[in-house]
Amino acid sequence: MRFSYFVLRRWLYSILVLFGLSILIFIIARMLPGDPARLALGPFALQEQVEHLRHVMGMDKPLPLQYWTYITGIFHGDFGLSFQTRRNVALDIAHYLPATVELVLMAIVWVLVLGVPLGVLAARYKDSWVDNLVRVMAFIGVAVPPFVVGLFLQLTFSYLLGILPTTGRLSLMTPAPPLRTGLLLLDSLIEGDFSALGDALKHIILPSFAIAMTGIGQIARLTRASMSDVANQDYIEASRGFGIPNRVIAFKYMLKPASIAPLTILGLTFASELSNAFLVETVFAWPGLAKYGIRAILRKDFNAVMGVVLIIGLAFVIVNLIVDILAGYVDPRIRIKHEEGE
């Protein structure tokens, strides 16, 4: 009961932070030297046309009023007009978001499927090759920029070995499955179109792995550390004394308490994956939100920048909230700590 109160308070607070973020970005956007209307219309537009656009966009009104118009618009699903696509930013986001969601979800799958087992194995066989592999991956994950990881993967698997495609989400020859969720893997699965599914899988492997690299190393290292901590506990020693098989001890009695630390940094992992998406989508010409955002930034398309930033902020907030709830679920101590008032 009290824990749900804590979650609710966190949730409300996160919304406040998002408002703060929108104000900050709004101020930055409007601080800009140069006139967005002029930038949108180009150097050959007449002054009256520029004035007209400024009026249409409400840019001749005072700043607080402009902000109010913008923020109330968002609640009606109106993110303003994008200068590059001449469409409502909300439509653009709906168009580009699924590709990025698919990529980041796939990266999370990599982190969970590779990171956690690698950490468990590294803890089990200390100083073995698995342990060393985890160490190296952790260092590469934090010391190599993700776009470099992407380029090297491309160089090895696409150019040298020629087994995986270089760019995009689907080959030109593959007809896309009908649009349902926008996630190609899911759409082709629903349709039962396995050639499209295979093609989409081939395309997503490299970019998602490049994004996941940081997370895999971090999670593996943290899992290893907390598995080793738990292994030194008395109750593990006791269960060994009772003759419980090692495998049962590792997965039934050790993994749950050891998963708390990796779980709490899953929010950070998600943050790093979102950042990495901005770099990796460029390398693999992945038509996602990050790529749209970068183009918007380079072309000073402010409504688009605001929209992308707010969506990413929202995603970040939601993921952190989920992580909090999960951590509280797995570890009752966290719940009690919050019930006692932080």
Partner 1 sequence: MSTRASHHQVTTGLNETRWMIIKDRLGRGWYKFRRNPISLVGGVMVLLCVFLAIFAPYVTPYPKHAGAFTDFQNAFQAPSKSHWLGTDALGCDVFTRIIFGSRISLMLTAVVLGISVPVGVFLGLISGYMGGKTETVIMRVTDVFLSLPALVMALAICAAFTPSIDKAMLAVASIWWTWHCRLVNGITRSIKTEEFVQASKVLGASPLRIIFKDILPNCASPVIVKITLDAGFVILVGAGLSFLGLGAQPPAEDLGTMISFGAKYLPERWWMTVFPSLAIFFIILGFNLLGDGLRDVLAVEEGV
- Judged by the rule CB under 8 A, the positions of this chain that interact with partner 1 are 14, 17-18, 20-21, 24-25, 28-29, 31-32, 139-140, 142-148, 151-152, 154-155, 159-160, 271-272, 274-275, 278-279, 282-283, 293-294, 296-298, 300, 302, 305, 309, 312-313, 316-317
Least CB distance to partner 1 at residue 269 (A): 11
Question: How many Å from the N-terminal Cα to the C-terminal Cα in the chain?
Answer: 15
Q: Token match 């001449």: residue?
A: 86
42: left (phi over 0), alpha (psi -120 to 50) or beta: left
* Nearer to partner 1 (CB atom), residue 57 or residue 274: 274
* Nearer to partner 1 (CB atom), residue 46 or residue 298: 298
Say how far apart CA 238 and CA 104 lie, in whole Å: 41
Least CB distance to partner 1 at residue 339 (A): 22
* Nearer to partner 1 (CB atom), residue 28 or residue 238: 28
* Nearer to partner 1 (CB atom), residue 115 or residue 141: 141
Least CB distance to partner 1 at residue 7 (A): 17
Secondary structure of residue 81 in the 3-state scheme: strand
Report CA-CA distances (Å) from 34 to 30, 40, 51, 81. Answer: 10, 11, 14, 18
Least CB distance to partner 1 at residue 242 (A): 33
Tokens of 118: 């690698």
Least CB distance to partner 1 at residue 229 (A): 12
Say how far apart CA 321 and CA 314 lie, in whole Å: 11
* Nearer to partner 1 (CB atom), residue 20 or residue 58: 20
Least CB distance to partner 1 at residue 132 (A): 14
Q: Which residues contact 110 (CB under 8 A, 6 or more apart)?
A: 208, 209, 212, 215, 216
* Nearer to partner 1 (CB atom), residue 25 or residue 326: 25
